[in-house]
Amino acid sequence: MKQVVLSEGKNDVCFLSSFFEKRDGSFRIREFIGEEEDGQIRSAESREIKNFRERRNPYHVLAKSENGKSNLKQVFAALVNQLVRIDPEIVVLVDLDGGSLDGFVTDLDEQVREQHTGRGTELGDPSIIERNGDMLAAVCEVLKGNGSRKGEFRIVAFKQTLERVADVSKDEELDTRQDRIEAFLGDGHVYDLLDAALPDREEVR
């Protein structure tokens, strides 16, 4: 099973790429940076997902930056039925900014319900599977209007922000940000949570 990861920004994609390279150097990840796209981003996203699902596509993970939490929620709400239908592993990487996981999922659920009023799509309550001092991981079901299960997705969340816990500044050069993120991944509690929460190469098809 392949894996689609939706995140807030470029640093999140860098964080994911560094993790997969550290765990398995042959793990192939396709990066889609929304804030660097010109023109119709939604069309470009649809093409990326369509290409990614092809059997001949060599990538194991599609990591997408959505240029902010608001866009992340909108994109997830718009794509959730498509993603559940083609059945990759779906992961949302998000900063909670000191808020709660339940609050984030409630906001996300409102967006999903607004987008899919005719189809009756909604989200279940998140179930936390891993946590540490900086992060948590959870599983959340995607439901039909009658409460039956459509699928599920995973959430990996920073309790504050990636930039805060990894001491990353948006004003720093890319190489410096990458070095700080890689150093942050060197902390066992960070790597261990991701390793437990995200599929490895043998699981991702």
pLDDT for the residue 205: 47
Sign of the Cα torsion 96, 23, 91, 28 reads: positive
pLDDT digit string, tens, across residues 61-79 = 999 998 899 999 998 998 8
Mean pLDDT over residues 151-170, rounded? 93
In this predicted structure, the answer to whether residue 87 has a pLDDT above a threshold of 70 is: no
CA distances from 143 to 26, 27, 49, 108 (A): 35, 31, 22, 13
Mean pLDDT over residues 85-91, rounded? 82
Mean pLDDT over residues 148-170, rounded? 93
pLDDT for the residue 49: 80
Mean pLDDT of the chain: 87
Single out the residue of 84, 170, 158 nearest to residue 122, CA to CA: 84
Domain spans of the chain? 3-197
Look up the pTM and report it. 0.90
DSSP bridge partners of 122? 143
Distance CA 52, CA 50 (A): 5
Q: Which contiguous run of DSSP H or E holds residue 90?
A: strand 89-95
